Amino acid sequence: MSVKDVLILTGGQEEHHYVARAVRDVLEEESGTEIRVEVREVGQGGIEGWLGWISGKLGKGKAKGETLGRWIRRAGIEVLGSSGWPQLRRLVALTLEETRPEVVVFFHPAVGMALQERVQDRSEAGFQRVGVVLEAEDLPGWDGVTADLLWVADEGSAKELREKNAKVKEVVAGGWPVRPTFEPAEERKKGAGKNREPFRILYLINSRRRKAIRTVEKILQFPDVEVTAVVGKEEELKGELRKAFPESQGKLEIHGWVKNLAGMIRAHDLVVTKPGTISVREVLATGRPTILVEGGKNSEKRKGICRLITRLGGGALAESPGEIGMRVGQALQGGGVGLREWGRRARQEAVRSLGATERLASRITQMAQAATETQRVPELRLMHHGHPGKKGLRMVDLHTHTIFSDGRLTLREIVDFYGRRGFDAMAVTDHLVDRRRLLGKLANLSGLVLTVDDLPDYFRALAEEKNRAWTKYRMILFPGLEFNHDGLTAKGSAHLLGVDLHDPIDPALSLKEICGQIRGQGGLTIAAHPHHMSSAGGQDTLYLWERQDEFRPLIDAWEIGNRDDLFNPVGLKRLPLIAGSDFHKPKHLTSWKTLLWCEKDPEAMKECIRRNKDVSITLYRDHRFGGESEEREEKRTAFERKG
């Protein structure tokens, strides 16, 4: 049996790491070498804050009818100047490309969106998705996430998601995954009468020192009580507590850091702590009641966990440290009637969560083992056109986009995609803009374009892939760029392709200067979609067409075909022509392409285009993308409606 890979994507929040580690440990322990687990942080760099911010706002600023994906993009752009989403989708894509997992586990709706992008359009990535919802009560954003399985803590949340989210195959109320050491404990047995054991209270201190000392004092005033105070890193507080209660020997124990927290919780009847998602879940998993101390700035998440405690009835809230004593008093009244009731409910909850991590891990294992080998595209080699040194028919596509700008595939993926299909040459032409010129309609793209600063990385990556494309597929890869000079109107806008470039070019230059620089590097200048587009959603760019006479000597070829569009006037004017797919995602393969009759050699191909002799175009169909896609159907209907 082959080894299966599970990828766990954490999103910068403490509880993500916690659950990721717990699940990984169980997976590795139970499945031995059959499953390989990789935990990756996608919340690093600038994205961490962005993901956190998104979490806090999810669903709240969403306009009516707006999809989650659209909202994430819009909100990200408005608030953070666009850096979050493009970074996230690139990171997720590259991580998937590197790890090729059978199952991906994720904790953040935005990560779910990035994964969704990877599986749309019958792209070649095949993996199962497991979303783990760690929110206690609100489920912001999860109603818009697509997944094979959503794992939530309780039945209430599961019900809500089943109603609101039709894109998930299965919602499981499986309990909150905690570290397996936090198992439910029995009620502490106490003798009666004189032998009665005291109530043991564990106080995990997180409030100010003076308040903490006063709280300990109040609790110690109750009869039959012992207190264990855990001060954590507050070493000085240790000394202060000893000084404040010199007489309380036997009734007060003081600790710094605690190694075996699970064991310590089990040895007590009641825990007093702050509302951290993890700590509360751990206490609940041991079946011990809790008093949560609110106060200060509590995030939405913390408020959620506070409400959870009162809803379950496994403890109570103290609205400030000053209230702790009063709450303890209530619990201990009448020989601890209240405390016993809390305990009963907390244990119910604990039993429900018992083994949650193991159950989640075993579902993931099942899914990984059921995964068949990723669908392989047959080595098509439809176009094996003879010896590279001799003239032959060469299928080329000189207009494609990758994840470096707004395309879906990584550079490596796009090379494999075209290489497997036997293309003789392709150019990657990601969008380059002058930041200072970013205008209205382009704002949506911002972050999904290259800027001058990205160019060294971009050319380095292309140089590497160029070698691989030739060695593996005998395919020529031309490094290129699409210069987006967008104005406010169609007539003020131009898209210019530069093909076979080696050095950065400043996009702030004029179009004429850019043409000069492209040619100076031995590259081709190509006018992209130079005339009115018929397809819905196409933005006309007519600047070069309007100034044909000026630009004719500077442009090597004009696109007569761009994806589904065909521009008759290019033919009528007898301009040198070429056609390309303007590829952004796999289904764009079905589109206009160029056929050259020449040697399989970069210089020969460029010369063929410059002379524009032995150049023809063809409408390419792929057996995997032959059917009418939804988008295409939409466009056709829109077109028919237009008349």
Pick left, alpha or beta for residue 434 (phi over 0 → left; psi -120 to 50 → alpha; otherwise beta). Answer: beta
How many residues does the structure list for the chain?
643
| DSSP states of 319-341 | SSGGGHHHHHHHHHHHHHHHHHH
The one among 16, 302, 347, 495 contacting Zn ion by CB under 5 A: 495
Contact flags string 204-233 toward Zn ion, x per CB under 5 A: ------------------------------
Q: Which stretch binds Zn ion (CB under 5 A): 168-176, 313-321, 526-534, 595-603?
A: 526-534
368 secondary structure, DSSP code: H
486 binds Zn ion (CB under 5 A): no
Q: How far is CA 462 from CA 229, 416, 454, 465, in A?
A: 60, 13, 12, 5
Q: Whole-angstrom distance between the N-terminal and C-terminal Cα of the chain?
A: 57
SS3 356: helix
Q: In the bound complex, what is the minimum distance in angstroms from residue 580's beta carbon to Zn ion? A: 8
Q: Which stretch binds Zn ion (CB under 5 A): 181-189, 356-364, 461-469, 490-498?
A: 490-498
Nearer to Zn ion, 260 or 534 (CB): 534
Beta strand extents in 153-224 (DSSP E only): 168-173, 199-204
Q: In the bound complex, what is the minimum distance in angstroms from residue 360's beta carbon to Zn ion? A: 43
Nearer to Zn ion, 154 or 582 (CB): 582
Nearer to Zn ion, 42 or 433 (CB): 433
Task: Return the amino acid letter for 239.
Answer: G
SS3 526: strand
Closest CA to 530 of 496, 504, 479: 496
Q: In the bound complex, what is the minimum distance in angstroms from residue 15's beta carbon to Zn ion? A: 41
15 contacts: CB under 8 Å, gap ≥ 6: 107, 134, 277, 278
| Alpha-helix runs per DSSP H in 498-601 | 511-520, 543-546, 548-551, 568-572
Q: In the bound complex, what is the minimum distance in angstroms from residue 497's beta carbon to Zn ion? A: 8
564 binds Zn ion (CB under 5 A): no
Asked whether 265 and 202 are in contact (CB, 8 A), the reply is: yes
Tokens 């700590």, residue located: 279
528 binds Zn ion (CB under 5 A): yes
Closest CA to 559 of 570, 572, 543: 570
Nearer to Zn ion, 101 or 580 (CB): 580
Instruction: Copy the structure tokens of residue 467.
Output: 């070698």
* Number of residues lying near Zn ion (CB under 5 A): 4
Q: In the bound complex, what is the minimum distance in angstroms from residue 529's beta carbon to Zn ion? A: 6
| DSSP states of 46-80 | THHHHHHHHHHHTTTSPPTT--HHHHHHHHHHHHH
Nearer to Zn ion, 349 or 582 (CB): 582
Q: In the bound complex, what is the minimum distance in angstroms from residue 440's beta carbon to Zn ion? A: 16
Nearer to Zn ion, 375 or 534 (CB): 534
Instruction: Copy the structure tokens of residue 114.
Output: 């990035």
3-state helix, strand, coil in the chain (%, to 5): 45, 20, 35
Q: Which stretch binds Zn ion (CB under 5 A): 125-133, 472-480, 493-501, 611-619?
A: 493-501
582 binds Zn ion (CB under 5 A): yes
Q: Of 345-364, which residues contact Zn ion (CB under 5 A)?
A: none
Burial 417-455 (b: 16+ CB within 10 A, else e): bbbbbbbbbbbbbbbbbbeeebeeebeebbbbbbeeeeb
SS3 593: strand
Contact flags string 256-295 toward Zn ion, x per CB under 5 A: ----------------------------------------
Asked whether 253 and 229 are in contact (CB, 8 A), the reply is: yes
Nearer to Zn ion, 265 or 555 (CB): 555
Asked whether 113 and 68 are in contact (CB, 8 A), the reply is: yes
Q: In the bound complex, what is the minimum distance in angstroms from residue 470's beta carbon to Zn ion? A: 24
Nearer to Zn ion, 500 or 582 (CB): 582
Q: Of 23-82, which residues contact Zn ion (CB under 5 A)?
A: none
Nearer to Zn ion, 327 or 593 (CB): 593
Q: In the bound complex, what is the minimum distance in angstroms from residue 399's beta carbon to Zn ion? A: 6
Nearer to Zn ion, 168 or 496 (CB): 496
| Alpha-helix runs per DSSP H in 354-443 | 356-370, 411-420
Q: In the bound complex, what is the minimum distance in angstroms from residue 530's beta carbon to Zn ion? A: 10
Q: In the bound complex, what is the minimum distance in angstroms from residue 613's beta carbon to Zn ion? A: 26
Contact flags string 358-397 toward Zn ion, x per CB under 5 A: ----------------------------------------
SS3 546: helix
SS3 387: coil
φ/ψ of residue 584, rounded to 5: -120, -30
Nearer to Zn ion, 425 or 433 (CB): 433
Nearer to Zn ion, 160 or 482 (CB): 482
Nearer to Zn ion, 12 or 479 (CB): 479
Q: In the bound complex, what is the minimum distance in angstroms from residue 434's beta carbon to Zn ion? A: 15
What's the rounded Cα separation, in Å, for the pair 42 and 35? Answer: 22
Q: In the bound complex, what is the minimum distance in angstroms from residue 348's beta carbon to Zn ion? A: 59
Q: Which stretch binds Zn ion (CB under 5 A): 58-66, 195-203, 235-243, 525-533?
A: 525-533
Q: In the bound complex, what is the minimum distance in angstroms from residue 207's beta carbon to Zn ion? A: 58
Q: In the bound complex, what is the minimum distance in angstroms from residue 583's beta carbon to Zn ion? A: 8
Nearer to Zn ion, 421 or 431 (CB): 431
C-alpha angle 444/448/450, rounded to 5°?
130
408 binds Zn ion (CB under 5 A): no
Binding site for Zn ion (CB under 5 A): 482, 495, 528, 582
